[in-house]
Amino acid sequence: MSISINNLSKTFGQFQALTPLSLDIHDGEMIGLLGPSGSGKTTLLRIIAGLETANTGTIHFGGRDVTHLHVRERRVGFVFQNYALFRHMTIEENVAFGLRVMDKKERPSNQEIQKRVKDLLDIVQLGHLAKRYPEQLSGGQKQRISLARALATKPEVLLLDEPFGALDSKVRKELRRWLRSLHDELGFTSVFVTHDQDEAMELSDRVVVMSNGCIEQVDTPARLYEQPNSRFVFDFLGNVNVFNAQWDGAQHWSNGQAFITPHQESQFQHNGLLYVRSHEISLANKENKQASLPAKVMSVTPIGAEVRVELAPQGWESDQYWEVRLSHRQFDSDKIRRGGILYLVPQAGYFFAQDTHQDPLKLAWPFLEKDAVMFEI
């Protein structure tokens, strides 16, 4: 079931929760609404569900206008972060609840309800727990039951509000994988809210990045990462370092420290901000023709398959530490030590020119001075 949202807006008193926005969601697509707290993503989800009413705009499910329909008439399944299971009911009774409270003319027979509940519990791989109560289940099991209950009424759309937010990271990762597999198997249309970029990137066919009630960008995870269209999107996706650059006619600098732009086109010859991801930086033991960005090593932290090095800029403008991510193969504990001074050498980045309306410009440095570089990405 496709969803078409046109010119939707919402206010709460004087607060503008959603500015007029439009969005088309394709049949069978899984869409992630990603953004910080207060960005409007949960409000948008609740309006799609019928739990909130928009001030302006329309919503269509397929060719059906549902803008003014009650939530019961929209055939929407909703999964909450807190599971919302009935404690006094068994697992099978929880899953069957939505079927048993349907209007009599639409309600399946008892036999059909029992069969549907059994099939759903098998799908979520919890059939052996049918007679247990919610308090006897783990958090991950409760969320699976919540999903089974939402699917019991055969909704046209499945909506999820931070469905894994209350779970630990390992369980969250397992359930993300399971939900994506279930979505592909059953082919329903689903929209979920998250503030976790990894969750959005892993689950979504497309990601809707929101900020202050607006849609900043809608794209596939790969294109969103490769082609962020604004500083906000780049900032929110995280793990970036920022160089506040002033153009002097030959190079970009900040308080006497500089990097050479690898492209000579006029669109780069402005003051602006250089955004560099933490895995796209090398470390050098001395200044070189590409960059003169000294930094003091503040911490060295092995995490999983990589080593994260935090460095404090020395003598140039930056109000935050820079982060460099190296593989264990690239890391040399004898040369990268807390308190040492090294030079940051960007390998690739995005340049946001100041006082222009240009889209961000991608830079890639074609070479490094091999005698100056100790570690290469």
Structural domains in the chain, CATH included, are 3-226 (3.40.50.300), 239-375 (2.40.50.140)
User: Long-range contacts of range 107-116, CB-CB < 8 Å, 24 or more positions apart?
Assistant: 116/152
Coil, strand or helix: which one is 99? helix
- Of the pLDDT bands very low, low, confident and very high (cuts 50, 70, 90), residue 281 is confident
Report the residue count for the chain: 377
Q: Give the tens place of pLDDT for each residue, 18-51.
A: 999 999 999 999 999 999 988 999 999 999 999 9
Q: Using CA atoms, how far apart are residues 168 and 333, in angstroms rounded to an integer? A: 32
Task: Tokens for 66, please give them.
Answer: 């549902």
Q: Are 39 and 212 in contact (CB under 8 A)?
A: yes
pLDDT score of 75: 84
Q: Give the tens place of pLDDT for each residue, 165-196.
A: 767 777 778 878 888 888 888 888 999 998 88
Q: Are 10 and 47 in contact (CB under 8 A)?
A: yes
Q: Give the tens place of pLDDT for each residue, 125-140.
A: 888 989 999 999 888 8
Question: Tokens 């069957």 identify what position?
Answer: 96
pLDDT score of 29: 95
Task: Tokens for 176, please give them.
Answer: 């993300």
DSSP state of 269: S
pLDDT score of 373: 45
Task: Name the phi and psi angles at 48, rounded to 5.
Answer: -60, -40
Helix, strand, coil percentages for the chain (3-state, nearest 5): 25, 35, 40
Task: Give which of 255, 253, 221 is closest to 237, Cα–Cα.
Answer: 221
Q: Using CA atoms, how far apart are residues 209 and 164, in angstroms rounded to an integer? A: 19
The DSSP annotation for 125-145 comes to: T-GGGTTS-GGGS-HHHHHHH
Task: Give which of 261, 242, 243, 241 is closest to 251, Cα–Cα.
Answer: 261
Q: Give the tens place of pLDDT for each residue, 196-222.
A: 888 888 899 999 999 999 999 999 999
What is the greatest pairwise CA distance in the chain? 80
Helices and strands (H and E) in the chain: how many: 8, 23
Q: Using CA atoms, how far apart are residues 302 and 294, in angstroms rounded to an integer? A: 22
Adjacent-strand bridge partners of 206: 31
Q: Give the tens place of pLDDT for each residue, 81-127.
A: 777 888 899 999 999 988 888 888 888 899 999 998 998 888 888 88
Q: Using CA atoms, how far apart are residues 139 and 53, in angstroms rounded to an integer? A: 32
Q: Give the tens place of pLDDT for each residue, 43-79.
A: 999 999 999 999 999 999 998 999 999 888 888 888 8
b/e map 292-309, b = 16+ CB within 10 Å: bbbbebeebeeeeebbbb
Average pLDDT over all residues of the chain? 83
Number of CB atoms found within 10 A of residue 261's CB = 20
Q: Are 207 and 218 in contact (CB under 8 A)?
A: yes
The DSSP annotation for 224-283 comes to: HHH---SHHHHHHH--EEEEEEEE-SS-EEETTEEE--S---GGGSSSEEEEEETTSEEE
Q: Using CA atoms, how far apart are residues 350 and 313, in angstroms rounded to an integer? A: 19
Helix (H) or strand (E) holding 234: helix 231-237
pLDDT score of 363: 66
Coil, strand or helix: which one is 213? coil
Q: Are 159 and 51 in contact (CB under 8 A)?
A: no
Overall pTM > 0.95: no
Percent pLDDT > 90 in the chain is 32
Integer Rg of the chain from CA: 25
Residues 6+ apart with CB under 8 A from 253: 245, 246, 259
Task: Give which of 189, 202, 132, 212 is closest to 1, Cα–Cα.
Answer: 189
